[in-house]
Every structure is written in structure tokens, then in C-alpha cells.
Amino acid sequence: MATTDPLIICEHCDCVYEKVMLGKHQKTLCTRCGGVLQRYNGLTVEQRLALAYTAAVLWAFANFYPVMSISLQGLKNSATLWDSVLALSHGPITFIAMVAAIAMIIAPLFQVLLLIWVLSYALAGQRSPGFRFCMRWLETLRPWSMLEVCLLGAMVAVFKLAGMLDVLPGIGLFALAVLSLMMIRIAGRDIRELWDIL
């Protein structure tokens, strides 16, 4: 239905507006409830794809290198994100290990993979195979991807342990820091724009 395309509905109160072109740093707000309707999106498909590849590399660094290592009287130990998921998986609390694995590892990974898949085709101006499916999963995954929380959690853990032993932040922590910021930028709501341009 081509006629409803230029319309935008406020998701917070159902008001209907017409879409407008936005300049840098501009956004449109609903006059009734004050919710954000549109936000300026400064990324082209190329830029977003490049950042998605970077995010994939960072994800690998964040997951294969230890987030931090500690030493106590000559004994050393280090932990990756996966190790911390495993630490939760023993005994009756296994369920929370699954939640943590989804939030810290699985959801971000799938977000990055789906983005690369969708954007690679978008670069050539076409919809990828399974475009609807991929775009719907990108929406579903977003609230469950908690990298920012994970980053703050890792930093709190550093301080928590620094009191009793020597703590050394690892490559994983730095990769996590950059990756979490990047995901906010590339996997946000504005990927919906692909529906309009493809």
C-alpha cells in the first residue's frame, strides 16, 4: 500500500504524522505524548556495514581473550565471558547461565551476523534472502543484548576484586568496551530505515 508509506504512527499514543526529512542532530517528537517519532540517522549503508565487520572482529576479541586476570600469592587465573557463563551453570541455577549467555554472547553475535548479512545485500541495493526474517529477529534480539551492562559489570568486578588481590584488565575488557558502544550505534532502531530504501 503505497499511500500509507509517508505516514508515521507514534508507538506511545497512536497519533499519526507525516514523515519529514531531518537534518543533523534533529529528531521529531510527538506533540501529544512527547515520544520520539524519528531520529536523524547519520550512517550510510556502507558505513554501517564497515562498522558491523569491525564489531564482528571485536566480538571475537571480547570472547576469545580473557576479560581480566587475577593473581594471588603467585597463583594466576583469568576468565573469558564464556568462563563466567560456565561459572553460573553449576547446580540449580543453570537457567541463569542461559540468560547470561544470551545477554552477553549469543544475542550480540546474532545481531552482528544478521547485520552483516542484511547490509551486504543492501550495499548492492537488494533485499537479502530471508530479509523479513532477519529484520524481525534484529528487532526481537535488541532488548536482550546487554553488552553495556556487561561492560559496567566487568568494571565493577575489577573494583570488587582489587580490594583483595591483584587484578589486571585483559584485552577482552577493552574489546568489550568498544564493542558495546559500537552496538548502540549500529544495531539501534534506525536499521528500520532499510525497509524504506530497499
The C-alpha atoms of residue 98 and residue 153 are separated, in whole angstroms, by 17
Q: Which of 56, 161, 171, 178 binds other proteins (CB under 8 A)?
A: 161
Alpha carbon distances (Å) from 55 to 37, 112, 159: 27, 7, 27
Residues sharing a CB contact under 8 Å with residue 152, sequence separation 6 or more, in sequence order: none
Where in 2-31 is the site for other proteins (CB under 8 A)? Answer: 3-5, 7-17, 30-31
Q: Identify which range of 49-57, 73-81, 109-117, 180-188 contacts other proteins by CB under 8 A.
A: 73-81
Q: Which three cell numbers stand for residue 134?
A: 532477519
DSSP string, 108-141: HHHHHHHHHHHHHHHHTTSPPTTHHHHHHHHHHH
Residue 35 binds to other proteins (criterion: CB under 8 A): yes
Does residue 40 interact with other proteins by CB under 8 A? no
Residue closer to other proteins, measured from CB, 45 or 154: 154
Residue 58 near residue 174 (C-beta atoms within 8 A): no
Min dist CB 184 to other proteins, Å, is: 12
User: Total residues contacting other proteins (rule CB under 8 A)?
Assistant: 68
Nearer to other proteins, 57 or 149 (CB): 149
184 contacts other proteins (rule: CB under 8 A): no
**Cα(165)–Cα(188) distance, integer angstroms:** 38
The residues, ordered by sequence, that sit 6+ positions from 66 with a Cβ below 8 Å of its Cβ are 78, 79, 80, 83, 170, 171, 172
- 157 lines the binding site for other proteins (CB under 8 A): yes
Residues that bind other proteins (CB under 8 A): 1, 3-5, 7-17, 30-35, 67-70, 72-73, 75, 77-79, 83-88, 90, 92-93, 95-97, 99-100, 103-104, 132, 135-136, 139, 143, 146, 149-150, 152-154, 156-157, 159-161, 163-165, 192, 195
